[in-house]
């Protein structure tokens, strides 16, 4: 049984249809990223999972407990870190976490140890007597994270856990996630693709309230392997000599886009992307068309898509690494 099972989940905020029937599963023991641009519906989904918000329609099970009938049982399995933690500014960190531990049913005798452990893990032990009011955003995030760890719930649901941290602190959070993944199933949201690449094994990608992809990170990356190719050629003396090649290359329906990547003397290297679902044999047809038009082909090289490109494709954005060198994409 999967740790999280979501089936055809809908959420409407009045006229806003934020979740439009999303379904996915998160397997036990797997660190899964919930990826999508701002406004995609991540926080809404996580609030519903954590039992803080009711769904409009659909079914959610956590560790086998249906949220509509067994919300409390499900909640005991979950440590939830909201996007902005509802902290009490006039409380000290330690005081606040003890209070939270009590609410979560951690026995009095265990509370000190449990709060101590959470503070150590999130590196706030040295500030435990500080007022929450006086903490920076990064430290507040850590308190939120410490809160989620109290009681050692098997499932951690973390809403943008690295938001508000500087790069150094992001590394610390990643190291912490790495340590926690041993004993926890972790489902974390982010709008930053590299976050998912750096930490997660699986990803669920959402866009405008719909799941647009899910699965193993490597499998997502491979999605377009057959669909992107770099062709190096010289134009020859025929019809290509003065042609606008981007238009010429995309004239066939199968080719979604074409971009010049490099020029070396007479040789031009173009990156050609097939349309979604197009059979890779379209590449052979393209090469034949180039040859027929007088081009001299020097190389045809299939590329692994960067996850940025896959993500941009899925969410209708443009990859922001347009000018990177594909040779460097590992
Ligand atoms: N309380 C609310 N009332 C009305 N609309 C909301 C509310 N919360 C979120 N939304 C809308 O729902 C959509 C999804 O938001 P959210 O779940 O916060 O996305 P994400 O976390 O992926 O950025 C957005 O269009 C957002 O404006
Ligand atoms: Mg959000």
Helix and strand numbers, DSSP H then E, in the chain? 11, 14
Average pLDDT over residues 181-187: 95
Average pLDDT over residues 143-147: 94
Residue nearest to atom 14 of ligand 1 (CA): 41
CATH number of 225-303: 3.30.70.1710
pLDDT-based confidence at residue 7 (cuts at 50, 70, 90): very high
Name the fold adopted by 4-221: Rossmann fold (3.40.50)
Please state the atom number of ligand 1 nearest to the C-alpha of residue 40.
22
CA distances from 329 to 200, 275, 323 (A): 18, 22, 12
Q: Quick check: 159 pLDDT over 70? A: yes
Q: 187: closest CA among 27, 9, 39?
A: 27
**Ligand lying nearest the CA atom of residue 208:** 1
Mind listing the pLDDT tens digit for each residue in 100-131? 999 999 999 999 999 999 999 999 999 999 99
Question: Which pLDDT belongs to residue 245?
Answer: 94
pTM: 0.76
How far is ligand 2, taken at its centre, from the CA of residue 77, in Å? 22
pLDDT-based confidence at residue 219 (cuts at 50, 70, 90): confident
Pocket of ligand 1, candidates 13, 50, 191: which has the most ligand atoms within 8 Å of its Cβ, to mutate? Answer: 13
Q: 186: closest CA among 203, 170, 171?
A: 203
Q: Quick check: 98 pLDDT over 80? A: yes
Sequence ranges of the domains in the chain: 4-221, 225-303
Neighbours of 322 (CB within 10 A): 10
CA distances from 85 to 51, 128, 142 (A): 15, 17, 10
Q: Is 42 in the pocket of ligand 1 (CB under 6 A)?
A: yes
Please state the atom number of ligand 1 nearest to the C-alpha of residue 36.
22
């Amino acid at each position: 049984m999967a740790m999280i099972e979501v089936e055809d989940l809908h959420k409407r905020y009045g006229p806003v249809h934020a979740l439009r029937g999303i379904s996915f599963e998160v397997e036990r023991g797997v660190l899964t990223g919930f990826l999508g641009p701002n406004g995609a519906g991540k926080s809404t989904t996580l609030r519903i999972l954590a039992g803080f918000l009711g769904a409009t329609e659909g079914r959610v099970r956590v560790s086998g407990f249906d949220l509509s009938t067994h919300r409390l049982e499900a909640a005991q399995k979950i440590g939830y870190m909201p996007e902005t933690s509802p902290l009490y500014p006039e409380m000290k960190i330690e005081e606040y976490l003890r209070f939270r531990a009590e609410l979560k049913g951690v026995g009095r005798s265990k509370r000190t140890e449990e709060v101590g452990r959470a503070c150590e893990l999130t590196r706030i032990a040295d500030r435990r007597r500080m007022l929450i009011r006086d903490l920076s955003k990064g430290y507040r995030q850590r308190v939120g994270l410490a809160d989620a760890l109290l009681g050692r719930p098997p499932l951690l649901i973390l809403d943008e856990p690295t938001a508000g941290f500087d790069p150094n602190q992001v590394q610390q959070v990643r190291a912490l996630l790495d340590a926690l993944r041993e004993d926890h199933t972790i489902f974390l949201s982010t709008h930053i693709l590299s976050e998912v690449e750096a930490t997660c094994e699986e990803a669920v990608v959402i866009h405008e309230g719909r799941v647009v992809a899910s699965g193993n990170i490597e499998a997502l990356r491979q999605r377009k392997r057959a669909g992107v190719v770099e062709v190096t050629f010289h134009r020859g003396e025929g019809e290509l000599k003065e042609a606008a090649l981007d238009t010429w290359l995309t004239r066939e329906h199968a080719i979604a886009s074409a971009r010049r990547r490099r020029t070396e003397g007479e040789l031009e290297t173009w990156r050609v992307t097939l349309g979604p679902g197009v059979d890779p044999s379209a590449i052979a047809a393209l090469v034949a068309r180039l040859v027929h038009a007088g081009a001299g082909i020097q190389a045809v090289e299939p590329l692994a898509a960067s996850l940025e490109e896959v993500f941009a494709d899925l969410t209708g954005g443009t990859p922001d690494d347009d000018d990177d060198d594909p040779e460097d994409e590992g």
